[in-house]
Structure 1
Amino acid sequence: MLNINQRLLQMEQEEQELRFETFTNDTALELGLEIVEEARRSGKRITVDITRSGQRLFLHAMEGTTVENEDWIRRKNNAVKHFGTSSWHVACRLRNEGTTMEEKHGLPLADYVGAGGAFPLIVEGEGQIGTITVSGLPDQEDHDLLISVLRRYLSK
């Protein structure tokens, strides 16, 4: 198991590595469906959201999820947009510092959350254009499911 410093370094590497050359509405559909299929294969129930420039391109709530998952997605996405890193990266960094977003940055818990599952949608030459988010599993599992699908999708 990785210690916190190794985990933070790993997440920084993921954010540098997992970038798209281009990203279209069809990309969102393909990627979203792959995330849903991966969850199905592993017997998980999640909600998936892919948003580009404020426009939701993909949303699917699997059986067994609730409207709460969408609120978690909204709050995770706000954290990614604010910090420019994955929501799990934000959470781990703050936990390592022994603080919260409210204490350190004045960001209300009602609108921002440090929890696993949201990742910046980065396109080469454009920068961060949106978010790709999973909700429904424990923090590390949300993050790991998303990262494994992104890695596989981008290696094609």
Structure 2
Amino acid sequence: MTTPSMEQRLQQMEQEEQELWFSFFTNDTALELGLAIVEEARRNGQRITVDVTRTGQRLFLHAMEGTSAENENWIRRKNNAANHFGMSSWHIACRLRSEGTTMEEKHGLPIADYVEAGGAFPLLVRGEGQIGTVTVSGLPDQEDHDLLVSVLHRFLSQF
């Protein structure tokens, strides 16, 4: 199996951001989504922290055994990046890497508050746009992103 080129990965992430939209999003949706991510991580033997935040309000947070408070700091910084750019944090990180620059160099965003790492995905609702983020921390960048995207695809196929 060949590894996709950076351009192919960037195109795939753009497509994900065009496809993974909710028709509605409630506090119960946040709970169901958060639990679905936790269950998928358990099935995969992964240890993560999961956060679902809507318009600045944290609706779901769970830290699995083996994670630490540092995961929450990563989540905060990933959320800031996804909210600032309106795209997944891995999409941002890959785009900047392909350009040979950083958020701090290109946009003046401090690394204390923004991170170029996978794991945050914008919560996108039809008729509303981006309303928040769903984020995981604890795995390598691509794995954080892939876990989120696979659960979002499955979750949204139910509606």
Q: Structure 1-normalised TM-score?
A: 1.00
CA apart distance, 1:114: 1.0
Matched residue type, 1:149: V
Which residue is equivalent to 1:148? 150
Out of 12, 15, 34, the position equivalent to 2:14 is 12
Matched residue type, 1:34: A
Matched residue type, 2:111: L
Matched residue type, 1:86: S
Secondary structure, in 3 states, of the residue corresponding to 1:114?
A: coil
Matched residue type, 2:126: E
Secondary structure, in 3 states, of the residue corresponding to 1:137?
A: coil
Out of 136, 139, 142, the position equivalent to 2:141 is 139
Q: Mind listing any 5+ residue stretches in structure 2 that lack a counterpart?
A: none
Matched residue type, 2:71: N
Secondary structure, in 3 states, of the residue corresponding to 1:141?
A: helix
The alignment's C-alpha RMSD in Å is: 0.3
Cα distance between partner residues in 2 of 1:2 and 1:19: 25
Cα distance between partner residues in 1 of 2:148 and 2:4: 18
Q: Matches of residues 105-116 of structure 1 in structure 2 within 5 Å?
A: 105-116=107-118
Which residue is equivalent to 1:129? 131
Secondary structure, in 3 states, of the residue corresponding to 2:123?
A: strand
Q: Indicate whether 1:82 and 2:84 are aligned.
A: yes
Give aligned pairs, total.
156
Which residue is equivalent to 1:71? 73
Q: Mind listing any 5+ residue stretches in structure 1 that lack a counterpart?
A: none
Cα distance between partner residues in 1 of 2:141 and 2:79: 14
Cα distance between partner residues in 2 of 1:114 and 1:76: 7
Q: Structure 2-normalised TM-score?
A: 0.98
Cα distance between partner residues in 1 of 2:21 and 2:77: 22
| % identical equivalent positions | 80
**Runs (4+) off by over 3 Å:** none
Secondary structure, in 3 states, of the residue corresponding to 1:150?
A: helix
CA apart distance, 1:137: 0.1
Cα distance between partner residues in 2 of 1:54 and 1:103: 27
Out of 1, 4, 8, the position equivalent to 1:2 is 4
Secondary structure, in 3 states, of the residue corresponding to 1:48?
A: strand
Q: Indicate whether 1:94 and 2:82 are aligned.
A: no
Cα distance between partner residues in 2 of 1:114 and 1:15: 17
Cα distance between partner residues in 1 of 2:10 and 2:114: 20
Out of 104, 108, 127, the position equivalent to 2:106 is 104
